[in-house]
């Protein structure tokens, strides 16, 4: 189950294995029927079939040893207080057919074709320059997207037709 959860996070959220092993129980947020995963500024929703996989949390490996009974890591390691080793998780993912590095690269590029780089960077926890560079390499078309709150007017600006003539 641990490999399924890690593989889904690589494939859907373009996360490196080194970041996946550092996720804690606090990064999985349950809000009613919705399950969110905190990867960047704002938590990302987890689609329903995948949210069921996160039941893995209740049955995590390496929890019944004397060194890990209260571990907060989503992927606890064998050593006390340490997460699962990223190199070992990457090798296990490769064994089941998920080449972690290639899959992550493909996933982030697909996200950048579907959404603006600024949004992808904020939601997935990437640096804005990295997301923009990858978008340019991918050929994304969101080059004129202005991030920010578009629901409010700039200071001192009034829409046409509302001022005195």
Please give the helix or strand (H or E) that residue 107 lies within, else none. helix 100-114
Cβ atoms of 74 and 24 closer than 8 Å: yes
**Does 87 score more than 70 pLDDT?**
yes
pLDDT in tens, 8-42: 999 988 999 999 999 998 898 888 888 889 988 78
Helix, coil or strand: residue 45: strand
Q: Where are the domains of the chain?
A: 2-61+78-138
The pLDDT, as a whole number, for residue 43 is 86
Q: What share of the chain is helix, strand, coil (3-state, %, to 5)?
A: 45, 10, 45
The pLDDT, as a whole number, for residue 147 is 57
The pLDDT, as a whole number, for residue 165 is 47
Q: How far apart are CA 10 and CA 107, in angstroms?
A: 8
The pLDDT, as a whole number, for residue 45 is 87
Q: Determine what percent of the chain is predicted with pLDDT higher than 90.
A: 19
């Amino acid at each position: 189950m641990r490999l399924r959860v890690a593989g889904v996070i690589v494939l859907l959220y373009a996360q490196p294995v080194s970041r996946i092993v550092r996720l804690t129980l606090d990064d999985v947020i349950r809000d009613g029927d919705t399950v969110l995963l905190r990867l960047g500024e704002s938590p990302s929703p987890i689609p329903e079939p995948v949210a069921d996989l996160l039941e893995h949390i209740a049955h995590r490996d390496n929890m019944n040893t004397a060194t890990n009974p209260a571990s907060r890591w989503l992927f606890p390691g064998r050593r006390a207080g340490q997460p699962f080793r990223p190199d070992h998780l990457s090798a296990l993912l490769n064994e089941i057919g998920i080449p972690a590095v290639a899959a992550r690269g493909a996933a982030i590029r697909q996200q950048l074709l579907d959404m603006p780089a600024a949004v992808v960077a904020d939601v997935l926890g990437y640096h804005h320059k990295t997301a923009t560079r990858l978008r340019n390499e991918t050929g994304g078309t969101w080059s004129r997207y202005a991030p920010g709150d578009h629901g409010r007017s700039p200071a001192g600006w009034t829409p046409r037709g509302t001022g005195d003539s």
